[in-house]
Each structure stands twice: as C-alpha cells, then as structure tokens.
Amino acid sequence: MLYRVVRGAMFGLEAERAHHLAMGALSALMKPDAVRALLGAALRVDDARLKQKVWGLEFENPVGLAAGFDKDARWVNALGALGFGHVEIGTVTALGQAGNPRPRLFRLVEDEALLNRMGFNNAGSEAVARHLQGVKVEPVLGVNIGKSKVTPLEDAAEDYATTLRRLHRFADYIVVNVSSPNTPGLRSLQGRGPLEALLVRLKAINTELSEGGRKPPLLVKVSPDLGDGALDEVVEVVEEVGIDGIVATNTTISRQGLRSAGVDAMGAGGVSGRPVRSRSLEVIGRIYARTEGRVPIVGVGGIFGAEDALAAMEAGASLVQVWTGFVYEGPLLVRRMNRGLLRLMEARGYGDVGEVVGAAHRR
C-alpha cells in the first residue's frame, strides 16, 4: 500500500528522472553495511527449495534483476540487498556514450509496460571497471555487454571484445546483447553468420582470460521479434559454438494490442512488461524444446509476480529476471515473488525449483 502512494508521486515525474531519484535514495539508505545487512536479512527469503545451481554458480533464489536498471554498476549491492538472487548490470559498451536524446523512457500505465529508446547510455567499460574495482560485490553479478553506437557493424566483434577484456574479472556470468532495438543495426548480429563469428571470437577470449582461474559462462540475449525460423538458427549457433545459455527475451518493437494513449507520439523504442509476456513464454518454450534442456535459459519479459515466474520456469527457464515489474510493484516484489513461489510449488507438488524447470514439457 505504501509503495502505491510513493509510486503515484514518482509516476508524476519524468520516468528517467524518477528512476535516478529512487535509486539515489535507495543507494544512500543502503550504503552503511549494517543497514544493508539488516534490510537484506528482512527481505531475503532463505529456503533451500529456492536455491538453484546453474553453470556451477549458486543462486540463492531464481529471481534476478535484468540489465538496464544499473547500467554503470553503481548500485549493485544496494539492489542485491532487496533479495535478488542475481543482479545483471549494463548494457556496457566499450566506449562511454550518452545514448539517445531525452525523453527516451515512457510509462504505458494501462498496459503495465514501459517504452524505452535509451540507446545503451552508459559510462563505458573503463569507467564501469573503476566502479567495480575494490568493491566486494555481494549478489551473483551478471555483466551485459553491447556494441558502441559509433562502431561500424563490421568491427562489432572487437568492440565487444574490448568490454569483455575489461570486465571479465568482475563477472560471474556474461551476456552478449545483440537484440536491443535501440542501437542501429544491432539486431542484424542475430543472423547466423554474424552471430557465429561474434560468439566464436568472444568464446575464445573468454577461454583465454580464464586460464588458470574461473571461467564465467557466456550467454546471448535474444529478441522476442525473431520469427521461429530465425530463433531456431540462433539456437543452432549457440549449440554449435558451445555458448552456455540464452536470455529470453529483450524488448519488442511491436505495438500490437497496446491500450495506453499517445503511444505513437512517443516514437520509436522497445516495449517491456506485460505485453511481452506471451511471446517471451513462447520463445522460452521453443528454446527448451529445441535443446531438450541442454542450454540453460534466463526468462525475462512481463514477470510481475510468482505465477509469472513459475510459468516461465515451467516453460523451461532456469532463472527469471524482472525489470518493468519491479518498477510497477516496488522493492518488496522479490520477497513476495519468492514467498509466492514456495506456496505455488508446494501446491503443485514441486520439491524445489529444479523440479519446476521444463515441467510443462514433461507433462
């Protein structure tokens, strides 16, 4: 109830400004170690049935924060203290960039959605490395990397490689973002040839950087707008190259079924939230069926509560992420989701989250 009041006030502000004000306040509140530990203990749902081991990494629960919320790794521990099983930073590019002109983030309240055309605004991989240097990162940390806008597509692999080299040592896992609709031409990297070349190069660098130490898994993030044939090609490349996982899905450029007024006037951008849920579930299910569960999936898109999370996991997701749902539901969302997952799992006869993954395909 309290968050509804706060949300009403925040929704009266321009969306990007509200985001930075809210995160500035949260970061200040959570800065003292003692406060973060106290609130973290209150918000964390500690139950063995929620624990998940994927890629050799131990996740305290399957609910994570998607990339785009903390682009520059400024608020990782504050966000982690809200009970997330993992936090994914970025998208980070080799070069710092301002992104697209503001306004570039819009609320579609009637649709419980957001429209954004941020354009990978971030401080750049050197600055993000400085932010993480010397910080004891508390949650499992994902690093989402993308292409700098000024870099030609033919030089994309080297651009991604630069960021990978700079941030490799901080990452528990790495996501290659080739699916944002807000960097011109980026989605063309999902084609078989460009994608294979990019992933082969990044896998080789990841292996080289991991000699004698840990090797963070390498994932690729895909678009919900891929047709089934194109999605199948991506999955084939992932398996052929030996990529460790798939994040499904990014935002959609589709405007079908939106009810919020003034969407056309808002201009271009990707839509996230409720409108993506159905297609995201289809993509998760198709990937799981095509790979027979061999490739772990992180499910993203329209997840607002425990039932949404369970549906994504039953479709085949080993982990789920929230972003838009977090904006609409507030900082207690993760606790509610994890408690709700336990109730739903018990009601449906699941012993733990591992039993949930892919259950829809086994029925």
Architecture of the domain defined by 2-362: Alpha-Beta Barrel (3.20)
- 345-356 per-position pLDDT tens digit: 999 999 999 999
Q: Where are the alpha helices (DSSP H) in 102-227?
A: 125-132, 156-167, 192-209
Is 170 labeled as ligand-binding? no
Neighbouring-strand partners of residue 242: none
Is 67 labeled as ligand-binding? yes
Neighbouring-strand partners of residue 64: 86, 321
- In the predicted structure, residue 255 carries a pLDDT above the cut 80: yes
- 103-137 per-position pLDDT tens digit: 999 999 999 999 999 999 999 999 999 999 999 99
Distant-in-sequence, close-in-space partners of 176: CB < 8 Å, separation ≥ 6? 145, 160, 198, 199, 202, 218, 219, 220, 221
Q: Which residues of 21-41 are buried (b: 16+ CB within 10 A; e: fewer)?
A: ebbeebbeebeeeeebeebbe
DSSP state of 97: B
Is 302 labeled as ligand-binding? yes
Is 249 labeled as ligand-binding? yes
Mean pLDDT of 267-296: 98
Ranges of each domain in the chain: 2-362
Look over the chain and give the mean of its residue pLDDT values, rounded to a whole number.
97
User: In percent, how much of the chain has pLDDT > 90?
Assistant: 98
Q: Is 179 a catalytic residue?
A: no
Is 70 labeled as ligand-binding? yes
β 113-116/105-108 pair status = antiparallel
Is 338 labeled as ligand-binding? no
Nearest to 126 by CA among 93, 151, 156: 93
Is 337 labeled as ligand-binding? no
- In the predicted structure, residue 2 carries a pLDDT above the cut 90: no
Is 182 labeled as ligand-binding? yes
Is 326 labeled as ligand-binding? no
- In the predicted structure, residue 1 carries a pLDDT above the cut 70: no
Give the dihedral sign, CA 229/310/19/78: negative
Mean pLDDT of 21-26: 95
**Hey, what's the torsion of the CAs at 72, 78, 84, 87, to 10 degrees?**
10
- 56-90 per-position pLDDT tens digit: 999 999 999 999 999 999 999 999 999 999 999 99
Catalytic residue from among 148, 180, 260, 272: 180
DSSP state of 252: B
Look at residue 5 in the predicted model and tell me its pLDDT: 85
Q: Is 184 helix (H, G, I), strand (E, B) or coil?
A: coil
DSSP for 280-348?
HHHHHHHHHHHHTT-S-EEEESS--SHHHHHHHHHHT-SEEEESHHHHHH-TTHHHHHHHHHHHHHHHH
Residues 81, 44: Cα–Cα separation, whole Å: 8
DSSP state of 170: G
Q: What six digits make up the tokens of 299? A: 């499910």
Is 306 labeled as ligand-binding? no
Residues 273, 324: Cα–Cα separation, whole Å: 5
- In the predicted structure, residue 269 carries a pLDDT above the cut 90: yes
Is 117 labeled as ligand-binding? yes
- 309-355 per-position pLDDT tens digit: 999 999 999 999 999 999 999 999 999 999 999 999 999 999 999 99
Please tell me which residue, 213 or 180, carries the higher pLDDT value: 180
- In the predicted structure, residue 295 carries a pLDDT above the cut 70: yes
Res. 212 pLDDT band, cuts 50 70 90: confident
- The whole model's pTM is what? 0.98
Look at residue 173 in the predicted model and tell me its pLDDT: 98
- 223-239 per-position pLDDT tens digit: 999 999 999 999 999 99
CB 198 within 8 A of CB 156: yes
